Structure 1
């Protein structure tokens, strides 16, 4: 499911609803972060979950049921709820639960909306820094700060204009589990920066690219990316160049101008066709 630039714009009121909903979810998670009255446990896949993850997702689901009862919903904690409209919302109530449980204020609240044309709305909320990256198909990408949720007052996001791979500011997410071949190849060509907040950094132009190559991401982790990155002028795929929502859940996000060069760099690696085996350390 690639991003369709020439599809009709998404409804502005629906985008505004999504923004305000995620802001409320962010306040819930912030209260949980500072309140501390919760426990975490390991799920079957080894990832962490807390009562706050579950409560935030249940809140978002309830609000979606009230506003758009015919739409489907997929959430990290509650799974899939079928709808009749052919449209779907994707929820990651706390993206970065490990940050949350270790009291590191870098988690986000993520929401995406998909219609008959594909990705239509993406919202990534950083509740403790009070910033939100928001995009609607055909409506652009904006960064909102503080308590002002008016899309018209947000700063318009735009990717960088760098065209050469040499020295490109490239963010790495969780590089400890990366294949040595990939780290070495990138280190020789680009300027690597370990960092969170990859999408916000890219769409505001201070990073030129970002790579996630460790354990596979979940669909809910990547669902907001196509519309946010696309509306800011960038491009997002997996490391092999496949649209990110159809790929192996690795992530390559760039300003667009650098994308083909990054994909070629990965393709030139030994065993690049067996990329997931490399990422899993096999």
Structure 2
């Protein structure tokens, strides 16, 4: 049996994300210089400063652990454990003074994804989970357990669209026939029951974007898989909850719509994070290796 995550590590990761978030907030309200990477994507001084803060704390506390960060790449380790850091997820929004960004931290051990943290510093909201420890929502000083919604019917499911401006016409119309598509909602909305599913397609999301998602959604009672039902990240085994693959309502819908989705142009880059104990199993993208983000058209992540 896979052991639960160390609670002390969970607490440390949450505290680290909040300390990083304090610096993000400070730089957001003070303003920061924006420049461009060689690939044309934006980066701010705040991105670099926040990642440096996180790396410094990790090096002091866990010097043998590997660290991968969006801005500074990989610092090799010898422990077999790894921290994955996205200092500001949503740099476009940060740079344009739109407060819908977050700081993401994930921790992986020899058993796979163990801890995931998504901290929204301006909203003072943190969603976090430890393997076998449940999923939690913290707003200010109040912390409560959180779960995905209980909807089991695919037709009309509230489905958040991520990167919809880059979706193919075929993908958009295929989903529109069955689910209720909306431009509001994200992973945080999914695990707090405000949306029933999330589809991320078109523009790419890299490893640091995806790393916290499997453990957060799984511990909240949801299911995260690729389109073919496989794990989203290397070493990650999506927990198939009772009825997830054979739900009496979801499975017939899956059989009806999956073949069309598989053939859609660009669907190999589509990530689908379905919620609920009897939810349909559609896909979340490969994103197999750490790589540099190509933000493309602005999207809320």
TM-score above 0.5, yes or no: yes
Shift, 1:238, TM fit: 3.4
> 2-side partners of 1:173 and 1:120: how far apart?
25
Distance 1:110 1:175, change over 3 A: same
Q: Please tell me whether residue 156 in structure 1 is matched to residue 145 in structure 2.
A: yes
Superposed, 1:18-167 pairs within 5 Å as: 18-36=13-31, 38-146=32-140, 148=141, 154-167=143-156
Q: Is the 8 A contact 1:179 1:278 kept in 2?
A: no
Q: Is the 8 A contact 2:64 2:77 kept in 1?
A: yes
> 2-side partners of 1:46 and 1:213: how far apart?
21
Distance 1:96 1:274, change over 3 A: closer
Q: Please tell me whether residue 178 in structure 1 is matched to residue 172 in structure 2.
A: no
Aligned to 1:252: none
Aligned to 1:209: 197
SS in 1 for 2:5: coil
Deviations 1:30-76, CA, capped at 9 Å, x for gaps: 0111001x221222333211010010001000000111111100000
Distance 1:102 1:232, change over 3 A: same
SS in 1 for 2:261: coil
Shift, 1:124, TM fit: 0.1
SS in 1 for 2:224: strand
> 2-side partners of 1:39 and 1:236: how far apart?
37
Aligned to 2:259: 267
Give the gaps of 5 or more residues in structure 1: 1-5, 247-254
Distance 1:243 1:208, change over 3 A: same
Shift, 1:259, TM fit: 7.5
Q: Is the 8 A contact 2:21 2:121 kept in 1?
A: yes
Moved more, 270-279 or 66-75: 270-279
Shift, 1:206, TM fit: 1.6
Aligned to 1:249: none
Superposed, 1:197-276 pairs within 5 Å as: 198-246=186-234, 261=253, 265-269=257-261, 271-272=263-264, 275-276=267-268
Q: Is the 8 A contact 1:27 1:127 kept in 2?
A: yes
How many aligned residue pairs are there? Answer: 260
Distance 1:277 1:221, change over 3 A: closer
Task: Give the alignment partner of residue 195 of structure 1, picking from 179, 184, 190.
Answer: 184
Q: Is the 8 A contact 1:86 1:115 kept in 2?
A: yes
SS in 1 for 2:215: helix
Aligned to 2:9: 14
- Scaled by the length of structure 2, the TM-score of the pair is 0.80
- What RMSD over aligned residues (CA atoms) do the two structures have, in Å? 2.4
Considering fraction of residues, name the structure with more helix.
1
> 1-side partners of 2:51 and 2:72: how far apart?
8
- Scaled by the length of structure 1, the TM-score of the pair is 0.86
> 2-side partners of 1:8 and 1:102: how far apart?
42
Shift, 1:264, TM fit: 6.4
> 1-side partners of 2:134 and 2:270: how far apart?
36
